[in-house]
Amino acid sequence: MYTKQVFLEQVESAWDELVEVLAKYKETQMMLPGVTGSWSAKDILAHISWFEHEMIGVLQQRALVGSEWWNLPVDERTQKIYESNKDRAYDAVRAQFFQTHKDLWALLQDLSEEELTSASKFREMPPDWAPVDLLTGNTHKHYREHAQSLRAWHANRQESL
């Protein structure tokens, strides 16, 4: 069984890994495209923040709520997130990235074991869903996916210098 403790440990571990990878970047590197397609590391921070912000809404309202963009195909939703953040200043994106995670982390810690595993604790959540699955895909699995691409891009940039 997937426990709250195990879930929180995975979130914390993956977050720490992501932050560790980001610490290797100089601020000027954060703006360079090419980490994932044309995205910069800054774009990835904004992308992760969007998903965490959506999970904050779900947890605060104990309901399957959120942006209308969830109804879009993944690629279209991802593009909209990118477009809405691409011109934002790095400092603003970075500040939001850390604040959003801090806010989400506090809400995750307050979840009961039952709330983490039972769809009945969240309005409009399909009964065959487990909130932990939704949260997992938008936290630690998401962090690890992007940490991997950030790590690879940074390593390739260092080799080419």
Of 15, 23, 6, the closest CA to residue 105 belongs to 15
Tell me which DSSP letter residue 27 carries: G
pLDDT (tens place) for every residue of the chain, 161 residues total: 579 999 999 999 999 999 999 999 999 999 999 998 899 999 999 999 999 999 999 999 999 999 999 999 999 999 999 999 999 999 999 999 999 999 999 999 999 999 999 999 999 999 999 999 999 999 999 999 999 999 999 888 765 54
Q: Tell me which of 1.10.3720.10, 1.20.59.10, 1.20.120.450, 3.30.429.10 is the CATH number of domain 4-160.
A: 1.20.120.450
The span from the first CA to the last CA of the chain, in angstroms, equals 47
| Rounded Cα–Cα distance for residues 161 and 49 (Å) | 30
